Chains A and B, each alone.
Chain A
Amino acid sequence: MNVIDTLIGGLLLGGLYTLFAIGLSLIFGVMRLVNIAHGDFIVLAAYIAYLVIGATGLHPLVALLVVIPIMAVIGYLLQKWVLNRTMGDDDVLPPLLVTFGLAVIIQNALLAAFTSNSMRLSAGSLQTSSLPLGSIQIGLLPLFTLLMAVVLVIVLEFIFARTRIGRAFRATSDDPQIASAIGVRADHIYALAMAISFATIAIASVFLAMRSNFDPYSGPARLIYGFEAVIIGGLGSFYGTLAGGLVLGLAQSFGAQISPNMQILSGHLVFFIILALRPRGLFPKAP
């Protein structure tokens, strides 16, 4: 194992962490909502993908075309019917508690429906294919994962910077009351933001489930990685979240070189160090 190998492995892993993080980053940016059930929804989406594939025999990446709209609708309705009722003036606690409750419910519901046996989505030949790059072999699936993350970040940055709905996201994020006064429907905007967040959850879930085993309790660890990526990158920017995901992936990759036991811990340590030295993250949005 050489340094280049570890570096590339870290960046590729960072792509997956970016996928975990991007939906969290989005909803926190738009409505200061922290979704504790984010990781559990990733696992739920993986089970939905499993059912879709079982019923249709589609490749997981094609099944995404079904899973993304399902999750987007779940996200929209969850925000519209449940979370919007918990959003108050600058009080982040009620939605936090509700999503915490959802996390517990989802874990136990999945346990009841699918048992605790771990599962995996078969990606077929994609699973084992790799791209030779000099002396290094780059796994095609991890490479796809990173590319997906980068594309998603660019698309979301574009939506937020340039489109009608993106400007409404930013206006509502700045001040929901004034946004309403100029004709923006804040509750609808929030629900749309959650729908997009859930679409990213669907994507994250399928890339996760093709790469590693999952079970009903896999959610919280994914939430932690996502969180760490968001915080490392700095709140309020998708490029920051991408950077945070990559830093976390690199930290784990290099940690694993010291000792296999060090992989997870070294990620947490780097997160902790960055939090201590730059509490606003590496690329905070201008105040």
Chain B
Amino acid sequence: MSSDEIALEVVGLCKAYGALSVTKDVSLTVRAGEAIGIIGPNGAGKTTLFNLFTGIIRADAGRISFFGQDITTASARSRCHMGITRSFQVPQPFGGMTVFENTLVAAAFGQKLSQREARAPAAEALQRTGLWPKAQLRAGEITLLDRKRLELARSIATAPRLLLLDEIAGGLTESECQELVALIRKIHSEGTTIIWIEHVLHALLSIVDRVIVLDFGQKIAEGDPATIMKSPEVSSIYLGLEAESAHG
């Protein structure tokens, strides 16, 4: 799937809150069309990394570039327009709006379209995620699985080139999880680059080409899934995580 083009390049990224360092000198490269998994224990700084990528928070040091363009200081909005979108760990639909309006506003503003032009991509995002029958429901009233689907639908409605998924499989039943994985695989196979943070490892490993392991804000390992999961640095974390995902 992946090409030689670099989608995201991160060099020496650092972020600290007072004395607490949450991201320590993280460097990574994601090629266009690749699917990358990020794992690590709670508090390892995974979500912080997404916040840095999307511009919700700014790095103290380091550089982020997206398809060759330096975006280190770009706003969240302009990064969205360049094609970086994320889903949130706790689904946060616009609860007062209908499911369709959620994707409509994402398509209209994420792709800078008029409302009329935005209707088609908004509807398509709902169809791809299987939410079309629920388009007219209020987003605050749908089930957890549907809210997770809506997170995805709203993200893809902005026509992302890079999709960041934050623990999207957590809290779902096994069959729901499989449905979601199939959907993500489809989005990936259609050319979207994906970085996926996930505790539910079997879901993650069924899709990603490469895994990055974070601990205490640092990248401690990186490589193909099979090798990484057997490595000694990871096995302790890995065991802990499997226990956790079994509860989830």
Partner of A184, one of B95, B96, B97, B105: B105
Q: Which of B86, B101, B109 neighbours the largest number of chain A CB atoms within 10 Å of its CB? A: B109
Q: Is A182 a contact of B109 with CB atoms below 8 Å? A: yes
A59 at interface, CB cutoff 8 A: no
A183 at interface, CB cutoff 8 A: yes
Partner of A182, one of B75, B96, B154: B154
Q: Is A183 a contact of B81 with CB atoms below 8 Å? A: yes
Question: How many contacts A-B (CB < 8 Å)?
Answer: 74
Q: Which of A168, A171, A174, A181 neighbours the largest number of chain B CB atoms within 10 Å of its CB? A: A181
Partner of B85, one of A171, A181, A285: A181
By secondary structure, the A interface counts as: helix
Q: Which residues of A contact B77 (CB under 8 A)?
A: 180-181, 183-185
Q: Which residues of B contact A177 (CB under 8 A)?
A: 56, 76
Q: Is B92 a contact of A182 with CB atoms below 8 Å? A: no
Q: How far is the CB of A237 from chain B (nearest CB, A)?
A: 11
Q: Which residues of A contact B194 (CB under 8 A)?
A: none
Interface string of A169-180 (1 = CB under 8 A from B): 011011101111
Please report the total number of B residues contacting A with Cβ < 8 Å: 31
Question: Which of B3-11, B110-118, B208-216 contacts the other chain?
Answer: B110-118
Q: How large is the interface on A (under 10, 10 to 19, 20 to 34, 35 or more residues)?
A: 10 to 19
Q: Is A171 a contact of B94 with CB atoms below 8 Å? A: yes
* CB nearest neighbor in A for B84: A181
Known: A174-B94, A183-B81. 17 other contacts (CB 8 A): A167-B101, A167-B104, A170-B105, A171-B102, A174-B95, A175-B92, A177-B56, A177-B76, A178-B92, A179-B94, A180-B77, A180-B80, A181-B76, A182-B105, A183-B109, A183-B111, A184-B77
User: 8 shortest A-B CB distances, which residue pairs?
Assistant: A183-B110, A183-B109, A164-B115, A174-B94, A182-B106, A183-B80, A180-B76, A167-B105
B interface with A by C-beta (< 8 Å): 54, 56, 75-77, 80-81, 85-86, 88, 92, 94-97, 101-102, 104-106, 108-112, 114-115, 118, 154, 157-158
